[in-house]
Structure 1
Amino acid sequence: MILTVTPNPSLDRTYEVPSLGRGDVLRATGDRVDPGGKGVNVSRAVAAAGIPTTAVLPLGGAPGALLAELLGAQGVDVTAVSIAGQTRSNISLAEPDGTLTKINAPGPELAPEESALLLETVRTHDGSPAWIACCGSLPRGLRPEWYAELVARAHEAGSRIALDTSGPALLAALPNRPDVIKPNVHELATAVGRPLATLGDVVDAARELRALGAGAVLASLGADGQLLISAEGDHYGTAPAAGIRSDVGAGDASLAGFLIAGGTGPEALASALAHGAAAVQLPGSAMPTPADLRPDAVRVTRDLPLDLPLTEPAVF
């Protein structure tokens, strides 16, 4: 069983529009509402693979109730921590060429007692999860050290931790040794404080974060693939996507694929790549099912092309 923790979940509404013009009246050609938040998406992808998953979420108001209802319909068990504020709602505008414009609400501010209850709910969960995926930005009211405390408590309970966050929250958690972290190339650049222009630069940055405490680094490089730096060795992989419809949640689908395949080694990297490539070809933040995957198209190698220039070089 895979448990996910999303401190700042959302309802995500996606509108497909022919083009985006500032000040124009836009007529959508399609729309959908999905449960949102990085950990929420991981649980959705895990459930789509037929694996038990529980999402621990702070939920409030009508949006929170709808989010729980939508997750239940997708086979995700929800453990809700009731909060006084309302769960946020986000809007995405998707154009036919794959361009996505997002408006993310800040979300509610959690009171100290709500923050403490969320931590305690994870610690006392009786599902004995093999992995706990802690994902997303921290809402107002939670200190950057909140994830660090969660990592420590989860390790005490015997679970492995996958952490997908950025900035001060990521750096604060590293001394507590999360088993795997999943930054994108821009988050890596911010963490090490320098630009990353080649795959070799990314490898060096990932090794620095391992030296600071991360057990493994699963780095998303966008169109350039993914990189896994771990005790089992360094691996690089790519997976083609026929066409990008929406990249919302694609990184979360990748993390789900990684954990589904055991969370270690080249087989897990290959699963992450297959899930991410499938996700970008789906509308909104839809998560892939096994029927959407093309594992035969995935390529993983230990021969790292260190001089490979990144399609989108990362500055910090």
Structure 2
Amino acid sequence: MILTVTPNPSLDRTYEVHALKRGEVIRAETERVDPGGKGVNVSRAVTAAGRRAVAVLPLGGAPGALVADLLDAQGIEVAPVPIAGATRSNIALVEADGTLTKINAPGPELSAAEQELLLETVREQSPDADWIACCGSLPRGLAPSWYADVVTRAHAGGARIALDTSGRALLEALRARPDVVKPNAEELAEAVGRPLATVGDAVKAAEELRRWGARTVLASLGADGQLLVDDAGTWFGTARVDAVRSNVGAGDSSLAGFLVAGGSGPEALASALAHGAAAVRLPGSVMPAPADLDPAAVSVTADVPVDRVLEEAAS
């Protein structure tokens, strides 16, 4: 079982439009409503891969009730933490060329009692977990050190923990030595405080995060591929994608692919790449099933192209 923790979940509405024109009335071609939040997406991807997932998340108001219903309909076990505020609603606009525009609401503020109940729910659900995946931004009320506390408690209970967050929350959590951190290129650049222009720059940044406490770094470089840096070595991988339909949740699907494949080594990196590539070929935040994967399109090597210039340099 993979336990996911999403402190700031959402109800996500995704609209596909031909083109986004500011100041005009735009008619959507399709509309999807999905349970959202990075950890929620990991749960959905794990379930789509045929594994058991349990989602811990604070839920409140009508949007929260709908998120719970949608997850239940997808066969995902929900361990809800009732809160007084309403779960946030986010909007994603996907243009015909794959360009994604997102509007993310800030979310409710959690009281001290709700924060403690969230931690206690994680503790109650963690004994059966192969991995605990803590993902996304922190809602108002939670200190930047909150993820560090979760990592410390998880390790005390013998669990492995994967962390996908950014900014100060990531830096604070590193001191607790999470088993895996999964930054994208922008988050990696922000963490080390310098721009990343090449794959080699990303490798050095990942190594720096490991010196600060991360045991493994799985770094997404967007269209350029992914890096895996751990005690055993460094690997670089790419996945061919002929057409991008939606990037929503692709990174979360990638983390799920990494974890369901064991969470270490080049085989897990290949699984992460296959899941991420499959996700971008699907509409909205639909998570890929095994039939959607194309392992033949994935390439992983220990011969890292350190001089390769990133298509989208991170600063």
TM-score, scaled relative to structure 2: 0.99
2:3–2:126 CA contact under 8 A, matched in 1: no
CA positional deviation for 1:242: 1.4
Counterpart residue number, 1:130: 130
Partners of 1:244 and 1:300 in 2: how far apart? 21
Partners of 1:48 and 1:301 in 2: how far apart? 27
CA positional deviation for 1:127: 4.8
Please say if 1:190 is aligned against 2:227: no
Counterpart residue number, 1:60: 60
CA positional deviation for 1:65: 0.5
Partners of 2:222 and 2:256 in 1: how far apart? 17
Counterpart residue number, 2:271: 271
Letter in 2 for 1:20: L
Partners of 1:199 and 1:271 in 2: how far apart? 20
Q: Which runs of 4+ in 1 moved over 3 A?
A: none
Give unmatched runs, 5+ long, in structure 2: none
SS at 2:63's partner residue?
helix
Identity among equivalent positions (%) equals 71
Structure 1 residues 160 and 126: alpha-carbon distance in aligned structure 2, compared to 1, 3 A threshold: closer
CA positional deviation for 1:126: 5.7
TM-score, scaled relative to structure 1: 0.99
Partners of 1:181 and 1:272 in 2: how far apart? 13
Letter in 2 for 1:301: T
Compute the RMSD of aligned alpha carbons: 0.7
Please say if 1:15 is aligned against 2:46: no
Counterpart residue number, 2:40: 40
2:3–2:125 CA contact under 8 A, matched in 1: no
CA positional deviation for 1:211: 0.5
Partners of 2:128 and 2:157 in 1: how far apart? 8
Please say if 1:252 is aligned against 2:242: no
Partners of 2:100 and 2:254 in 1: how far apart? 19
Partners of 1:298 and 1:43 in 2: how far apart? 23
SS at 1:125's partner residue?
helix
Partners of 1:5 and 1:310 in 2: how far apart? 32
SS at 1:56's partner residue?
strand
Counterpart residue number, 1:294: 294
Please say if 1:156 is aligned against 2:181: no
CA positional deviation for 1:100: 1.1
Partners of 2:196 and 2:20 in 1: how far apart? 31
Partners of 2:188 and 2:308 in 1: how far apart? 17
Counterpart residue number, 1:225: 225
CA positional deviation for 1:101: 1.1
Give unmatched runs, 5+ long, in structure 1: none
2:8–2:139 CA contact under 8 A, matched in 1: yes
What number of residue pairs does the alignment pair up?
315
Counterpart residue number, 2:51: 51
Counterpart residue number, 1:69: 69
Letter in 2 for 1:184: N
Partners of 1:187 and 1:95 in 2: how far apart? 24
CA positional deviation for 1:60: 0.1
SS at 1:124's partner residue?
helix
SS at 1:176's partner residue?
coil
CA positional deviation for 1:130: 0.7
